[in-house]
Amino acid sequence: MTGDAPALLRRPGEAAKPEAPAFGPAVIVAEHLTARFGTNTLFRDVSFAVKRGEVFVILGGSGCGKSTLLKLMIGLVPPAEGTVSILGTDVWSTEGEARLGLLKRIGVMWQQGALFGSQTLLENVIMPLAEHTTLPPAAREEVARAKLGLVGLSEAASRLPSEVSGGMLKRAGIARALALDPAILFLDEPSAGLDPITSAGLDELIRDLSRSLGTTFVVVTHELASILAIGDRCIMLDREAKGMIAEGDPRDLRDHSTHPTVRAFFRREAA
C-alpha cells in the first residue's frame, strides 16, 4: 500500500474521476449485493468497485442501508445475494487463516469509536500489534505512538476513552484501525456528532492519510460537507429505490445529476 506512488503524488483537493489513471486496480469488487432482513429488503442488486488509493464514499439518507452495506463488505452481515471480494479474496467464502489474513489487511473505524474503555488510547492501539505481530514490546509502543501521532493524539496517549472528546475518540479509532497498516480503511460515519470545525479537521486527516500513506478509504457518511471534501468517488443508496441510484465524482453529481433524489440530497432540499 505504501508503494502507491500515484496516490502519494496526488495533490490536495484533486479529485480523481472513476476512470482517472491516478488510482490503481480495484481492491474491492461488490457484485449484485442484496441485503434483506426477514421480508424487508434494504437494497438490491448493488454493484461497484473501489480502486486502490481512492477515498470512496457511500452516501444516502437515513435508513437507506449505508452502514449495512459497510458491514456486509467487511463480513459482519451476510448478503442475501451477491458477492464481495476484497484484495481478490471473496469475503464470504473465506475461512480460517485466509480470513484472518484478510482481516489484518483491513481496518475499521466504528461510529462511536468502539475503543476499549478500560484501556488507554495507547493500549488500544497496541492491542492489535500485540495480537498479530512479533514486534518486541518496546517497538509496539513506539509504533503505536507513531499511529497516535499520525492522527494528532500523541499527548492524549495515556488517557482513557472516557477522558477524551468525541472528535478525539474518532481519531483514536482511526489510529487503532491503522495499527497494522491496512491496505483499506473503512470509516462508519466519521463526522457524526461532531462540530463543523472538528469534522473538517477529521476530513483533512482522512485526505492527509490517503495522500501520504496511499491507503484506500471507504467512508460511510451523509454529511454533505465531508462528502465533497474527501470523496474521490461515491455511490448513493436510496431507501425508496431500495438500491443504488448514482455513482461518480460527488462534485459531478452535485453539479450535473438529473436524478431528483440526488439533486435534492446535494442541494439539501426536502424530497
Partner 1 sequence: MAKQAQALTGLEMRGDGAGRAALLSGRVDTEAAARLWEPLMAEARAAKGLVLDLSKVEAVDTTGATLVLTAEATAGARIEGASPPVLAVLDRVRAALAAPRPKPVPYRFAPITGIGRRVVEAGRNALDAVGFLGELLVVVLATLIRPHRLRFRELLRHLDEAGTRAFGLAVLLGSLLGVILAFQSAIPLRRFGAEIFVPNLVGISLLRELGPLMAGVVLAGRTGSAYAAELGTMTVNEEVAALRIMGIDPMALLVLPRVLAGMLVMPVLSLLLTLAGLIGMAMIMGMLGFPLTTVTQQLAATITLGDLLGGLFKSLFFGLAIAAIGCRAGLGAGRGPRAVGDAATAAVVGGIVAIVLLDGGFAVLYERLGL
Q: Which is nearer to partner 1, 157 or 219 (CB)?
A: 157
Single out the residue of 209, 207, 208, 237 nearest to residue 221, CA to CA.
Answer: 237
- In angstroms, give the least distance from the CB of 149 to partner 1: 3
Distance CA 40, CA 38 (A): 6
Shortest gap between Cβ of 234 and partner 1 (angstroms)? 26
Nearer to partner 1, 216 or 261 (CB): 216
- In terms of CB distance, is 19 or 155 closer to partner 1? 155
Output the CA torsion 143→167→112→103 (10° steps): -30
E runs forming strands in 21-160: 26-37, 40-51, 55-60, 81-86, 89-90, 106-109
Least Å distance, CB 139 to partner 1, is 5
Q: Give the helix/strand (H/E) hosting 235.
A: strand 233-238
How many whole angstroms separate alpha carbon 248 and alpha carbon 187?
19
CB of 70 closer than 8 Å to CB of 58? yes
- Residues found near partner 1 in the complex (CB under 8 A): 1-5, 8-9, 101, 105, 117-118, 133-136, 139, 142-143, 145-150, 152, 154-162, 178, 180-181, 208, 212-214
Closest distance of CB 217 from partner 1, Å:
15
What does the block give as the cell for 183? 491496505
Cβ nearer to partner 1, comparing 98 with 225: 98
> Which is nearer to partner 1, 101 or 260 (by Cβ)?
101
CB of residue 79 vs partner 1: minimum separation in angstroms?
A: 26
Distance, CA of 203 to chain centre: 12
Of the pair 39, 134, the CB lying nearest partner 1 is at 134
For residue 146, the minimal CB distance to partner 1 (Å) is 4
**C-alpha cell read off for 115:** 475503543
